[in-house]
Structure 1
Amino acid sequence: MIKPIRNAYNSNFSEEKYQAFLKDIDGTFDYHVPFKIAETPVFLPKALKQKLVEACDDIMSVINKPNFKELTDGAFFYPNTIVPNEDEQSKFIQLDFGICEDEDGNLTPKLIELQGFPSLYYFQELVGQKYVEHFGNVIPQGFSQHLNGMTSTDYLDLLKQEIVGDTNPKQVILLEIEPEQQATAIDFYATAEKLGIKVLCITDLKKRGKTLFYLDENGGEVEVLKIYNRIIFDELHQRTDLKTEFSFQDEIDAEWIGHPNWFYRISKYTMPLLKGDYVPKSYYLDKLERIPTDLENYVLKPLYSFAGAGVQIHVTRGMIDSIANKSNYLLQEKVAYAPVIETMDVPAKCEIRMMMLYNSKTYKTEIVSNLMRLSKGEMVGVKYNKDKTWVGGSTGFFEG
């Protein structure tokens, strides 16, 4: 995006350096990362950074409305999904933007999706560090993964403050389903190393009354006081084979760090509530009075799915007419990603996730990091980018 920096990076790049970079990441926890890590970070110019901040502010002005919960009560699709003791703010918010060009050829972000759920907060710090270590001679001074002067130390201290706080780390758990089998397991390992907390499968969580506990390596009971939840509910509802003592609907004496209800409230369900220059037109399909005639300019999304499952990018009237339960779908204006990152063959398109965190000391939700996805396919996803290079997960360095 910043031509001199991009030219310098590409000229400096070699496959040997890239393989050393990947080997270093895999060696950090003696674990092979199963997803594609891109050959390059992304360098974001100041003007685009300012637009991203403005876009986040616009969206947060809706999420912070006093009646936001009332507006999103319809988001709880699965039966018996509401979790007790919901808090007033989502601890974690992710806003995904496609990088596009406006009519004048200037870069601008357009919202793709959003979620009130944690992302790869620790892995992104690790991958950014490794880009600097292996390609740092062409990453300019003054460029950072973070905003507003936040350093890596500030970032890690803030995460520790919000996830662990004054609690004994041994009594804080990261909760997942078979965490070692998840594609994002490296983030769990990085989190556990930095915070000293336990990574636990839901099947290993035990319950007595309202008390949750797990057994340590010596068989001793450890009461759980805080739960950093990483379970995606789509997977939980599909895993009917799991034998658990704990249900999310139980009343418990533990605090949710990232209350599960925000997974539903801040989601695709929120899209039609948002307006502005950085948000595509979005409609609940069952509330749409007239189907647009230019359906080639729209995508059809299931409201209650994860990781792009069920998204239709070539929408037809027949496809819409065949949907029995239209209340489960969203019709959203297509976002035209711009191929703005020069690579060794064709340019790549990119998407940026602005990773946000509610700071309990300042009472504000802050942009704290980012995640980039590079793509050369129709969509940003593994199946659309098979056998392509200079695609995959990455991070962005913002111009100061």
Structure 2
Amino acid sequence: MIPKYRKQYNQEFSDEKYNQLKNILAEKGGTAPAFRVSESPMFLTKEFESKLIDASESIISQIKAMPAETLRKAIPDNCRVPNDTDQPHFFTIDFGVCKSEDGTIEPQLIELQAFPSLYAFQKVYEETYCEVYPFLSEIRNPMPHETFKNYLKELIVGDENPENVILLEIFPEKQKTAIDFVLTEKLLGIKTVCLTKVKKEGKKLYYENNGRLIEIKRIYNRVIFDELDNIPDLTTEFDFREEVDVKWITHPNWFFKISKFLLPLLKHQFVPKSYFLHEFPENENLENFVLKPLFSFAGSGVNLNPTKEITDSIEDKENYILQRKVYYEPIFEDINGDFSKAEIRLLYIWRENDERPILLENLGRMTKAAMVNVDFNKKDAIWIGSSNAFFG
């Protein structure tokens, strides 16, 4: 996409520098990333960046204009959490890097969430790329580290003492994103606490630290709420659906409200046409669509080639969508002359008194497989995995 930077990067690349990148990340995080780190960042033009921003701003405006009742319909009855908020604290939006019919490279919306992604990790990742390849600093994200830190601290910690703020996850040490938890702790001075360790007395929540019970006043929530039912023999003192004296960052209801549920309701040239399965029109061809369950995470349950037999067998059709297929364009050239495809996630925060969210960072995922998921790649493939986009 930007031949100058791609050429220079590929010339400077070496296995030694790739290992250096991974070693610095492991050193900064106190643990190695449990997911595959791509050998290369993505280089995209300012023109492509402006298309991303234009599409995102349009989608944000459309969501803001939706009645609260429309969004509430997305929350399953058994997942409603009390004390909802007027807007989410996080907004992330995924686009595939695709080619239009006239041959130009353009983004196409894949998914959107009001759920925090790897904010702390991605900032460190971008900075580490610049350490190993100093020439990247001229096209890096212009937001200084201190500004980034202050935004996240204001959002997550607020006016509280950091010891009364926790990052909440289920079995955090087992999560692939554990390095982000450690980097968040370092950035904000907060503790990561497992849901099974949270104690409840009346409406107050506590966690134990060095033998002391400490009240929890704000929760930076990283638990995928609807996945808790799938964990066998899970015992907790605290159920999300109970009313408690804490401030959610972000409130769990937004996980459902900003989700695949919205895709059929959004309109933009970079938003592929989507339908709820029970509303799929007869004049559309199933072969042109991907089947996605509304409530799943990390691509689970996605069917790239649905058949009528498959869709007819689904009983809860209102919990599935069909999204028009988009074709990722392989444009990211590796050192062997092969090309990777990619998608990019924009990471926004949404402060409570702000009309619109603020873009902090981005997250890239590169692949040579049919799905943008590292598990689907060949073992010896390169230029795949978690990445970061530079715009120049």
Q: How big is each residue's C-alpha offset from its partner over 1:221-254, in whole Å with a ceiling of 9 and x where there is no partner?
A: 2111100000012431211422111111111111
Q: How big is each residue's C-alpha offset from its partner over 1:276-314, in whole Å with a ceiling of 9 and x where there is no partner?
A: 101000000112242623x22210111111111111111
Structure 2 vs 1, CA of residues 361 and 324 (structure 1 numbering), >3 Å: closer, same or farther? closer
Q: How big is each residue's C-alpha offset from its partner over 1:322-351, in whole Å with a ceiling of 9 and x where there is no partner?
A: 222212211110011111111123201110
2:162 aligned with 1:169: yes
Q: Which residue of 2 aligns with 1:307?
A: 298
2:148 aligned with 1:155: yes
Q: Which residue of 2 aligns with 1:227?
A: 219
Q: Which residue of 1 aligns with 2:69?
A: 70
**8 Å contact 2:79–2:226 — kept in the other structure?**
no
Q: How big is each residue's C-alpha offset from its partner over 1:142-189, in whole Å with a ceiling of 9 and x where there is no partner?
A: x123xxx53222111101111112110000000000111110000000
**8 Å contact 1:99–1:351 — kept in the other structure?**
yes
Q: One-letter code of the match for 1:204?
A: K
Q: One-letter code of the match for 2:313?
A: S
Q: Which residue of 1 aligns with 2:369?
A: 377
**8 Å contact 1:234–1:306 — kept in the other structure?**
no
Structure 2 vs 1, CA of residues 150 and 360 (structure 1 numbering), >3 Å: closer, same or farther? farther
Q: CA deviation at 1:103?
A: 2.4
Q: Which residue of 1 aligns with 2:32?
A: 32
Q: CA deviation at 1:43?
A: 1.8
Give the counterpart of 1:190 among 175, 183, 186.
183
Distance in 2 between residues matched to 1:194 and 1:21, nearest whole Å: 20
Q: CA deviation at 1:28?
A: 2.1
Q: One-letter code of the match for 2:123?
A: E
Q: One-letter code of the match for 1:364?
A: R
Q: CA deviation at 1:76?
A: 2.0
Distance in 2 between residues matched to 1:239 and 1:60, nearest whole Å: 34
Q: One-letter code of the match for 1:113?
A: E
Name the Cα RMSD after superposition. Answer: 1.4
2:174 aligned with 1:181: yes
**8 Å contact 2:362–2:388 — kept in the other structure?**
yes
Q: Which residue of 2 aligns with 1:288?
A: 280
**8 Å contact 2:342–2:364 — kept in the other structure?**
yes
Q: Secondary structure at the match of 1:332?
A: strand
Q: Secondary structure at the match of 1:307?
A: coil
Equivalent pairs counted in the alignment come to 390
Matches within 5 A, 1:14-29: 14-29=14-29
Q: Which residue of 1 aligns with 2:2?
A: 2
Q: One-letter code of the match for 1:144?
A: R
2:390 aligned with 1:394: no
Q: Which residue of 1 aligns with 2:122?
A: 124
Give the counterpart of 2:348 among 324, 337, 356.
356
Q: CA deviation at 1:12?
A: 0.7
Q: Which residue of 1 aligns with 2:104?
A: 106
**8 Å contact 1:41–1:395 — kept in the other structure?**
yes
Q: How big is each residue's C-alpha offset from its partner over 1:265-285, in whole Å with a ceiling of 9 and x where there is no partner?
A: 001111011011010000001
Q: Which residue of 2 aligns with 1:318?
A: 309
Q: Secondary structure at the match of 1:80?
A: helix
Distance in 2 between residues matched to 1:97 and 1:209, nearest whole Å: 44
**8 Å contact 2:130–2:137 — kept in the other structure?**
no
2:242 aligned with 1:242: no
Q: One-letter code of the match for 1:123?
A: F
**8 Å contact 2:341–2:368 — kept in the other structure?**
yes
Give the counterpart of 1:94 among 74, 85, 92.
92
TM-score, with normalisation over the residues of structure 1?
Answer: 0.94
Q: Secondary structure at the match of 1:123?
A: helix
Distance in 1 between residues matched to 2:341 and 2:31, nearest whole Å: 29
TM-score, with normalisation over the residues of structure 2?
Answer: 0.96
Distance in 2 between residues matched to 1:361 and 1:327, nearest whole Å: 34
Q: Which residue of 1 aligns with 2:42?
A: 42
Distance in 2 between residues matched to 1:377 and 1:234, nearest whole Å: 28
**8 Å contact 1:118–1:230 — kept in the other structure?**
yes
Q: Which residue of 1 aligns with 2:323?
A: 332
Q: Which runs of 5+ in 2 are unaligned?
A: none
